[in-house]
Amino acid sequence: MKLVLTLTLNPAVDVSIATERIVYDDRVYITSESSQPAGKGINAANVLHRYGATVEAIAPFGGELGSRFANLLAESQIPVTLIPVHGQTRRNIAVTDAEGLTLKLDQRGSPLKAEELARIESKLMEKLPRANWLTLTGSLPPGVDSSTYAHLIALAQEHGVSTLLDTTGEALPLALAAGPSLAKPNRPEAERLLGRSLFSEADAVAGAEEIRAMGAQRVVLSLGSQGAVAVWEGGRLRATPPVTAKGSPIGAGDVLGAVCIWALLRGETFPEAFRWAVAAGTVAAGLPGLDFGDVAEVEKMRPRVEVHEV
C-alpha cells in the first residue's frame, strides 16, 4: 500500500460564488454558490482520493465553521483524521465571473496553540511509518513558528518519507533548506521569495533553479494558464498547455502537486509525471468552483500538453 498523508494546519470552508461579471460600484447577481472543505492539503487529498490513491488527510477543526468543515468532509468521503482545537476554522470566499476573472478573499485563520500543534504532530508521527509521501502545504496559522514545516520535513526524512512543499512567507525558505523532495511554488510565491519579477520563460527557469539551489530536490514552478517549468536532477523542463475554456483557477495548483505525486507513485518518470500534473491543473482551471475533474478528463488533456527540455 502506497499511502499519501496530507497535513493542513490552516484548513478552511471555501465558498465559491459565480457571477456574470465582477464590477465595482454597481450591483451584480450571484448565479451559483457552493461550499467545500478546503485548504491546500484537503484539496490534494480530494484529488488523490478521486484518482484512486490511498490517502489520509490530517487537519485541525474548531468552532461553528469547524463543524461545517467536518460535515463537508464526511460528505466527500475523504479519509481524514480531525483534531479538535479551540480556534474557529476559517472561511475563504472566491468570486469568479464568466470571463474567468477571480476575486479571492481569505481569512488568516485562528491562532493554533503550542499544545494543539503538539497533538497534531503526535497524530502525524503515528501515521508516518506507513506513509510514502507527506504533503506540507498552505499557510501556517497565527501562533505557529515559521520553522514548523522544516521540522516536519526532517521528521519525514527520518522515516524515509518523501515530502511535497507548497507554502509561502517566512516558512518557505526555512522549509526549502530542510530539503523537501518536491517544492511547488506558483509564480507570485516565487517572486516574493526571490525578490524579483519572473516575466519570461527564461526568468521562470532561472527562478526555479535558484529555488532548487535553496535545498529542494525538485521544483515545479506553476505559471498559471501558461503552464509550468520544472527543474530536477535530470534537467529542466517546460510544459505548455492548450488554451482552454475559462473556469475558476482556485485550487488548480493544488491539483498539479497532487497529481504529480499520484503519477510518481504509479511509476511514471518525472517528465511524464510533470505532464500529467500540468494536464490535471489545466482541466481543473477550466472548471467552475473547486471542481477538479477526473482521470478520464485528464487522460484526454495529457497528449495536448507540450513538454520539452529547456
What stretch of H or E contains 297?
helix 295-301
Which domain, by its residues, includes 228?
A: 3-309
The confidence score (pLDDT) of residue 101 equals 86
Q: Nearest-CA neighbor of 251 among 293, 290, 305, 300? A: 290
Distance CA 38, CA 61 (A): 12
CATH of the domain at 266: 3.40.1190.20
If one counts the domains in the chain, the total is 1
The three cell numbers locating residue 130: 506507513
Residue 85 contacts residue 116 (beta carbons within 8 Å): yes
153 CB contacts (<8 Å, ≥6 apart)? 136, 163, 165, 175, 178, 179, 180
Q: In whole angstroms, how far apart are CA 91 and each of 35, 94, 124?
A: 10, 10, 24
DSSP 3-59: EEEEE-SS-EEEEEEEES---SSS---EEEEEEEEESHHHHHHHHHHHTT-EEEEEE
Give me the count of residues in the chain.
310
Check 14, 97, 166, 254 and give the catalytic one: 254
Low-confidence residues of the chain, pLDDT below 50? none
The confidence score (pLDDT) of residue 245 equals 55
Distance CA 62, CA 12 (A): 10
Q: pTM value?
A: 0.93
* Residue 26 annotated to the active site: no
